[in-house]
Amino acid sequence: MPEWKKSRIEIGILGLGVVGSGTVDLLQRQRAEIERKIGIPFHIKRIAVRNIDKVRAVKVDRSLLTNNAYDVLNDPDIDILCELIGGVEPAKEYVLHAMKRGMQVVTANKEMIAKEGNDLMTLARQKNLDFQFEGSVAGGIPIIQPMKNALGGNRIDEVMGIINGTTNYILTRMSQEHADFGDTLREAQARGYAEEDPTNDIEGYDAQYKIAILSSIAFTSRINVNDVHVEGITHITKADITYAEELGYTVKLVGIGRRMADGRLQVRVHPTLLPQTHPLASTNNVYNAILIKGDSVGDVMFYGRGAGSGPTGSAVVGDIMDVCRNLTHGSTGRIHCTCYDDSAVMPMDEVETRHYLRMTVQDKPGALASIAYALGACDISIEVVVQKAAQDGHAEIVWITHEAPNSKVREAKETIVRLPEVISFDNWLRVEGLYRE
């Protein structure tokens, strides 16, 4: 075993925003306990920030701060780099630079991992370096390390989760208060649960990055994030929430990775009707939950706060501690990227699910029969249908179908919207799990 000759481990940090502040706060508050657990002192050597004069959520010695990232990256004393600035560039450039200089790397950057993880992990392996990213998915919930270690002996056939706290908060409030999407989004922003520009969350991109990462690990195959089907929640209305509840479902934005019998993978993010008896259905507000199905362990669910300064900082510190132990025992680079397969991702049009369809029609005889005929002509059978009279001679019809490919529903929709009885095709959502009366 290579001898560790330094008396302490030096840490450099890029970024002191939400995650950086939580990380530094925890390292400072729990310094004595952390050092006891890792068996060696540590020291924060330098922190790069955009604005040195900005008021911080955590108190740090001003002499540690620099507005030049390369003051951290080129410091020969730094052993571990924590990249906590987010985004793809310049974050990827910084991480590659650090690795080439022999630094171990810890990050919470989901977008960089999802889009550029292969390049980074390849270099880490070549250099025999640690590259840890527990904080990139589900905040403080331990999920990356358990999948790679404790569950590593399992063949994982499904990973399914509520992995975005902002959208889960919005959908929870819409359900509890029967409120409109716009009002609930503004409430989430006022409470600090949604960004001023909430696009990444409400359009599903944040969850897209995370399910790409989880699926890559679960199925040992690199997932191109562009192959992950993604839909957001902006088209969900209180009418959809109400109908779902009446039918025994809850609407959630769900990320799904599933191994199919032919070896292909389903990897998708979209609003989903889950039976109220489903393990994920009771995950509310800003909480996240991830359900994993292993061939030996069965169903395992991880639950907790999926974002925020403290929870994500907790994940980052856990990675730092793991790297410290590896450094002092000469065992860095123990767990390399395990994406050694090349499994194809199934196009969304070929994915078969049950479907929720809501439409407004003229309230007259034959309307329901015309739509049912159009569905039947596309080999789509009906499980549940609900019709309610509305104002001005209109009626709302909601259908829950049996399993059918997305392509067939799309084909049926093209016919239905042209029917003279149909005023509008209002929504189309997928349904997971078994219907429970």
Catalytically active residues are 210
Residue 52 has a pLDDT of 93
pLDDT band at 392 (very low <50, low <70, confident <90, very high): confident
C-alpha distances (whole Å) from 138 to each of 85, 165, 166, 286, 390 are 17, 9, 12, 11, 42
Q: Could you tell me which CATH number the domain at 348-431 has?
A: 3.30.70.260
Residue 436 has a pLDDT of 39
What does DSSP assign to residue 392? Answer: T
CA distance 422 to 400: 18
Tokens found for residue 388: 């309610």
Q: Taking a C-beta distance cutoff of 8 angstroms, is the pair 240, 181 a contact?
A: no
Strand 249-259 to strand 298-305: parallel, antiparallel, or no bridges (unpaired)? unpaired
User: The dihedral of CA 99, 45, 25, 87: what is its sign?
Assistant: negative
CB atoms within 10 A of CB 107: 29
Q: Taking a C-beta distance cutoff of 8 angstroms, is the pair 240, 429 a contact?
A: yes
Residue 3 has a pLDDT of 72
Please state, for a pLDDT cut of 70, what percent of the chain lies above it: 98
Task: For residue 133, give the nearest of 104, 103, 172, 106 by alpha carbon.
Answer: 106
For 198-212, what is the mean pLDDT?
A: 96
Residue 1 has a pLDDT of 55
Residue 2 has a pLDDT of 63
Average pLDDT, the chain: 94
What does DSSP assign to residue 206? Answer: H
Strand 298-305 to strand 382-389: parallel, antiparallel, or no bridges (unpaired)? unpaired
Most confident of 36-50, 301-315, 335-349: 36-50
Residue 434 has a pLDDT of 59
For 9-36, what is the mean pLDDT?
A: 96
pLDDT band at 348 (very low <50, low <70, confident <90, very high): very high
DSSP per residue over 222-238, as a string?
A: PPPGGGSEE--STT--H
For 219-228, what is the mean pLDDT?
A: 95
Q: Could you tell me which CATH number the domain at 151-305 has?
A: 3.30.360.10
C-alpha distances (whole Å) from 337 to each of 66, 151, 154, 308, 318 are 33, 15, 17, 27, 19
Tell me the pLDDT tens digit for each residue of 122-156.
999 999 999 999 999 998 999 999 999 999 999 99
Q: Which residue has the higher pLDDT, 4 or 404?
A: 404
Break the chain into its structural domains and give their ranges.
9-139+309-328, 151-305, 348-431
Task: For residue 213, give the nearest of 85, 120, 102 by alpha carbon.
Answer: 120
Range with lowest mean pLDDT among 110-119, 159-168, 338-347, 383-392: 383-392
pLDDT band at 337 (very low <50, low <70, confident <90, very high): confident
Cis before 90? omega within 30: yes
Helix (H, G, I), strand (E, B) or coil at 181: helix
Residue 435 has a pLDDT of 38
Judge whether residue 417 has pLDDT over 70: yes
Please state, for a pLDDT cut of 90, what percent of the chain lies above it: 88
pLDDT band at 200 (very low <50, low <70, confident <90, very high): very high
CB atoms within 10 A of CB 273: 28
Strand 229-230 to strand 265-275: parallel, antiparallel, or no bridges (unpaired)? parallel
Adjacent-strand bridge partners of 405: 352
The residues, any chain, with a CB within 8 Å of residue 76's CB and separated by 6 or more, are none
CA distance 419 to 348: 26
Adjacent-strand bridge partners of 394: 362
CA distance 74 to 435: 58
Residue 339 has a pLDDT of 86
Tell me the pLDDT tens digit for each residue of 290-310.
999 999 999 999 999 988 899
Residue 437 has a pLDDT of 37
pLDDT band at 216 (very low <50, low <70, confident <90, very high): very high
Residue 127 has a pLDDT of 95
Judge whether residue 283 has pLDDT over 50: yes
Q: Could you tell me which CATH number the domain at 9-139+309-328 has?
A: 3.40.50.720
Adjacent-strand bridge partners of 251: 273
Type of residue found at 338: T
pTM for this entry: 0.94
Most confident of 194-203, 226-235, 358-367: 226-235
